[in-house]
């Protein structure tokens, strides 16, 4: 072999060895299904690290719903815990990787994850600034301390779910893997507007930081794209970047000349042809100029005036049952039953103040399918009434209304929300019947379906003096169904089973129950809250209704919230209630 050939062989051998340095084989450690569970909010400083007490914790399985195990949360809160040591194969791999990827599978609805007492990641926020309603797959990457590689470790998860299903969803596996190169790259997006809403000549602008926590330099493409909220492509940037080890790269992006509306941004870093990190978020531009024209029929007002007349002919027959265990020194709590449109029996919870005088009252409407909950029981200057509309909440046990959104959808006369909207007015009738309440000082509020029903109450009943809807549902159906899959899916299933109905017939019926078409009737002040990242009741449909309101109005946007709003909205709504209803606590 001549010298040239020998050198070639040596070089090929060296390159071959070099290539294998970064070869990443898939190694995993699956944790056992059986963990410990405890209901309640707990103390993160203790419950994440202290020794378990058998009397306080019980066994729970991560591959099964809590409800299927006859386990319950406490006020939506619960904890999971387990202890484990890394197996020998993982130890070898982790010496090189130094970081671990924890995959929880699908999880609901917001949580904090602790490893040996330190928080390694979170999704959403707990009350009072609840940011939840997320049930996607969870994955967290974290770096190890040297002693953790060989010690027994404690993994703990504190979670909250207002729908009471939360924690691990069914058929889950909890998997640990050594972090690969791509797992040690992270994105940080910094939006130029504090609430992600832009106005006037402002471009939609944000900075993107890509952090490389690997021990080697990486090269790739940063790709940023923009589309409308109903997925119509607008523009894409592709920026090649190189990031040295343990360093970051920062780029600014701007999008101009946009129409009023909400937009989907997608940011991703592509390395070796693979999406390493990917982040999507919504931004808004001039939302009060969104042009979602009313599509009501000419007989809309006549239809609702006739319905209100029919409701007035139904004797409400109010019945109150005192709930001693739920009552406090400041409020007597009652279960209220009454008859509504079609003589349907509906129920609610009433908090009667234990103080003399004529009190203002807040009527609260519940979300679609919400579990029943009690009204406020700590003195805030108001009486409170929380209504369950027909077939939902307190009335769901004996419901005859099937899938509410599609029940009776073949005509406006038989449609579910005809009666449900009139239940909203019957709740106002109830509070006006109470001698201890001041019928000239009534406010309404609610989120999601409850937000829509707050619009309805203010539109159909002039006795409502102020409304604070959040993330409102039941609006701008044609655009709604182009933006997100639900409730369009339920209606599509209905159409598949009902050959006589078409989408046009459905839209014709829904036009009578679209809060966009009713909102111009509102005469009282309105405060609306939205979650900019909402994929259940997207901001576009929130503003479709809001923009038709002709009275005094104001909105608040929460940039990182999905189908929820922050505590600031609650605080501001109470301030406005007190101001409009002349309340000094």
Nearest to 480 by CA among 470, 490, 493: 490
Q: Is 563 a catalytic residue?
A: yes
Q: Is 43 a catalytic residue?
A: no
The CA distance from 267 to 93, in Å, is 30
Nearest to 123 by CA among 115, 134, 114: 134
Contact 196, 557 (CB under 8 A): yes
Contact 563, 530 (CB under 8 A): no
User: Helix or strand or coil: residue 15?
Assistant: helix
The CA distance from 291 to 508, in Å, is 20
Nearest to 561 by CA among 583, 533, 585: 533
Catalytic residue among 448, 454, 470, 519: 448
Question: What is the strand order of the sheet 553-558 is part of?
Answer: 319-322, 331-339, 345-353, 383-388, 359-365, 437-447, 466-470, 526-531, 553-558
Q: What does DSSP say about strands 553-558 and 526-531: parallel, antiparallel, or unpaired? A: parallel
The CA distance from 5 to 13, in Å, is 12
Catalytic residue among 534, 540, 561, 564: 534
The CA distance from 273 to 313, in Å, is 69
The CA distance from 156 to 136, in Å, is 19
- What is the CB neighbour count within 10 angstroms for residue 223? 16
Angle in degrees, CA 402, 404, 408, rounded to 5? 80
What is the DSSP secondary-structure string of 315-377? Answer: ----EEEE-TTT--SSEEEEEEEEE-GGG-EEEEEEEEESSSS-EEEEEEE--TTPPP-----
Q: What does the DSSP 8-state code read for residue 299? A: T
Catalytic residue among 134, 470, 563, 573: 563
Contact 456, 479 (CB under 8 A): no
| Residues marked as catalytic | 448, 534, 563
């Amino acid at each position: 072999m001549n010298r040239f050939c020998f050198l070639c062989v040596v070089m090929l051998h060296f390159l071959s060895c070099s290539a294998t340095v970064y070869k990443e084989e898939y190694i995993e450690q699956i944790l056992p299904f059986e963990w410990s569970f405890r209901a309640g909010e707990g103390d993160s400083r203790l419950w994440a690290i202290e020794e378990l007490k058998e009397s306080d914790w019980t066994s729970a399985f991560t591959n099964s719903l809590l409800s299927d195990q006859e386990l319950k949360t406490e006020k939506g809160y619960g904890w999971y815990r387990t202890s484990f040591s890394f197996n020998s194969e993982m130890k070898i791999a982790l010496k090189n990787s130094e970081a671990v990827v924890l995959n929880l599978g699908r999880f609901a609805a917001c949580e904090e994850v602790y490893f040996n007492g330190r928080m390694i990641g979170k999704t959403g926020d707990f009350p009072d600034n609840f940011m939840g309603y997320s049930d996607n797959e969870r994955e967290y990457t974290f770096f190890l301390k040297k002693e953790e590689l060989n010690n027994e470790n404690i993994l703990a998860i504190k979670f909250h779910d207002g729908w009471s299903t939360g924690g691990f969803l069914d058929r889950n596996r909890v998997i640990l893997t050594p972090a690969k190169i791509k797992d040690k790259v992270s994105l940080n997006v910094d939006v130029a507007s504090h609430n992600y809403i832009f106005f006037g000549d402002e471009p939609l602008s944000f900075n993107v930081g890509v952090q490389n926590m690997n021990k080697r330099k990486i090269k790739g493409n940063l790709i940023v794209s923009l589309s409308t909220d109903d997925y119509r492509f607008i523009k894409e940037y592709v920026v090649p970047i190189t990031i040295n080890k343990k360093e970051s790269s920062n780029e600014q992006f701007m999008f101009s000349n946009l129409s009023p509306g909400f937009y989907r941004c997608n940011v991703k870093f592509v390395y070796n042809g693979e999406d390493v990190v990917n982040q999507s978020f919504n931004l808004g531009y001039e939302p009060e100029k969104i042009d979602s024209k009313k599509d009501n029929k000419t007989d809309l007002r006549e239809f609702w005036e006739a319905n209100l007349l029919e409701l007035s002919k139904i004797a409400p027959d109010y019945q109150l049952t005192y709930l001693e265990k739920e009552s406090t020194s400041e409020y007597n709590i009652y279960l209220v039953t009454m008859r509504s449109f079609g003589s349907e029996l509906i129920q609610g919870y009433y908090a009667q103040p234990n103080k003399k005088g004529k009190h203002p009252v807040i009527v609260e409407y519940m979300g679609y399918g919400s579990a029943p909950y009690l009204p406020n029981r700590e003195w805030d200057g108001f009486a409170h009434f929380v209504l369950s509309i027909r077939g939902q909440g307190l009335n769901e046990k004996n419901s005859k209304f099937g899938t509410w959104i599609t029940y009776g959808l073949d005509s406006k006369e038989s449609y579910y929300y005809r009666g449900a909207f009139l239940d909203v007015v019957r709740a106002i009738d109830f509070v006006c019947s109470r001698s201890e309440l001041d019928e000239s000082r009534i406010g309404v509020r609610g989120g999601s379906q409850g937000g829509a029903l707050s619009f309805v109450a203010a539109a159909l009943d002039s006795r409502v003096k102020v409304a604070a809807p959040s993330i409102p549902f039941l609006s701008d159906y044609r655009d709604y169904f182009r933006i997100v899959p639900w409730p369009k899916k339920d209606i599509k299933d209905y159409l598949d089973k009902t050959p006589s109905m078409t989408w046009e017939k459905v839209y014709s019926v829904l036009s009578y129950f679209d809060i966009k078409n009713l909102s111009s009737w509102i005469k009282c002040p309105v405060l609306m809250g939205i979650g900019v990242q909402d994929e259940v009741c997207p901001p576009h449909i929130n503003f479709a209704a809001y923009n038709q309101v002709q009275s005094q109005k104001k909105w608040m946007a929460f940039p990182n919230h999905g189908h929820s709003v922050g505590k600031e909205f609650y605080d501001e709504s109470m301030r406005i209630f007190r101001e409009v209803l002349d309340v000094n606590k």
